[in-house]
Chain A
């Protein structure tokens, strides 16, 4: 998985590219986010536009990141999830847990 970070209005946008599956992106994503939180950057927007595939390990990973960010008083939101990833979050009843957006500007202003 490719992970790029950019800071927009004090919010870290994490641009992901690839798959979030067992032994692939998962550990890498967690490490990146945990490092961000350590540095106090705890407003995080995960841009999943280029994540084409995610399995149950990936879902678990998202939750693990979500919980960690929240425990540290931060916020983790999702941007541009694909129809299929939305389906996965829907059937696992997690869609109401994650805030998600399809417009970056709106997503960013929601952190205010």
Chain B
């Protein structure tokens, strides 16, 4: 393959003393198309490749190389891009949707639940100073990070919230006590040094045991609270 291809570049100004082989030119074009966020016009490739490179020949060689592979080099107009081979599009399950970022509010509520558990909804609102929308908790439940722990033995028997094992798993924690404390948050620059002297950060109470002030939550409780649809009907 070498003989005919070696003279792809007639470098006028001798920048490249050794002419690029087709293989080298292909490598460059390949990397450029790969790294680009947009399909790459041939004119752009011409700019980056040595003067006189035969772009169509290079791209044709590359496209041929990729044709049987799981990823193909395709051309739309005069632009080039890599795309998953059409017959494999099923592996890229589109329906999964994108991973959603948690909203600021959800992050705050999650953090409060993690540090202050067992914690009731009213307590969360007290700490945040704003009302928490129903949707925020729903999102955290849906993510599988937050669960109902039990009911507080206090007037109204409010439901207490806590984190799940999946929470620990997702955030790479072995146990809840691995959450950094006040000094460590300060040292990491997350809390400023200018905090009032009474300021404290609680040590979360392990998720498994209920605290003394908690009763276990029952199926009935959940139904009563409207958190579970009454059993009986077949759900889809």
Are A and B a genuine interacting pair, yes or no?
Answer: no
Residues of B that sit less than 8 Å from A by CB? none
Residues of A that sit less than 8 Å from B by CB? none
